[in-house]
Structure 1
Amino acid sequence: MYYPEPISKLIDSFTKLPGIGPKTAVRLAFFVLEMEEDDVLDFAKSLVNAKRELTHCSTCGHITDQDPCSICQDESRDQTLICVVQDPKDVIAMEKMREFGGKYHVLHGAISPMDGIGPEDINVESLINRLKDEGIEELILATNPNIEGEATAMYISRLVKPSGIRMTRIAHGLPVGGDLEYADEVTLSKALEGRREL
């Protein structure tokens, strides 16, 4: 279908976003055309500012507009506890919970040989350096409960074990409010494995 070049480019830009197919991209592009010009300029400015002003914390790897990030600077947090996550979005999810009082380390991915991603392609080396320097007593491995996340957790576990630092893995299993009949075998297996005393 023919579109004038400016809208065609806008549609192409939207299709580069994850989860946006061609139909949704067309809908979004035409929505933008209907917006007030000031709103469009604010939207474009927000995109550019996010890209220009955000960086990764040199300590933990989380996204930040200051280095080190506010979490790494916070002296009231437990300095002996690090939670290892795959992405900055995971830090945000953990912080929303308001239960975790330690620090984080963001890997920016997971080991996935099928995708050509090895340990050297994620933020593992700086984690090992932090463990040597920061007096860490416990490492919580909170990678995703899939093949890549499990492989990454196992790899880090093998690297860290000789140091004697306590390592734990977040529990996996049935979600609160979930039904047994709808759970797959892996989820049920993990739920049984992670059972605890009442």
Structure 2
Amino acid sequence: MAFELILASGSPRRKMLLEQAGYTFQVEVSDVPEPEPEPGVPAEEYVTTLAWRKARAVALRRGRGWILGADTTCTVDGVCLNKPVDRADAERMIRLQEGREVPVMTGICLYHAETHQWLGAVERSWCRFRTLSDSERTAYLDSLAWRGKAGAYGLQDNDPIVSLVSGSWSNVVGLPLERFQTLWAWANALSQRG
């Protein structure tokens, strides 16, 4: 028996990953605000809390199905690098990451709308950000490839400035499929038990 899956995200990358993996699902954007984390809040807590809030918001509206919420961030020295708000913010993020290995974390939550049971996890991958010349940095910023992407880059776009060092490629893109597959199996087992 198949159980209804709803993606609580308007991210085209998360949608693409689920489609490519063969999942059947609907999309309903949560519209949950994504404020910057409070000082001292660990990145893992930040992304898992946001994933839960997104999933729960859609679950309360729909009243049925398993709702998938997710949130991704990069961190440098404990500072979360979310989606840049403008070019200057993107440049700030790029300069912070240049020449370093940077952790990328995605929190995911599967929230069952009928019972309010939920399953959550956080996945961590590491990316290597190469040092750029001034002209390379300017060209990258001019390309606008940084828009809408945590840390100001997209591994899925073959951005020449970053490479995966370890962990899940799909996690860096925005949804750790391997971890989601495990949670989805647990969710289905919970549903079958009634």
Normalised by the size of structure 1, how large is the TM-score?
0.29
* Larger RCO (alpha carbons 8 Å, 6+ apart): 2
Higher helix share: 1
When Rg is computed on C-alpha atoms for both structures, the one with the higher figure is 1
Normalised by the size of structure 2, how large is the TM-score?
0.29
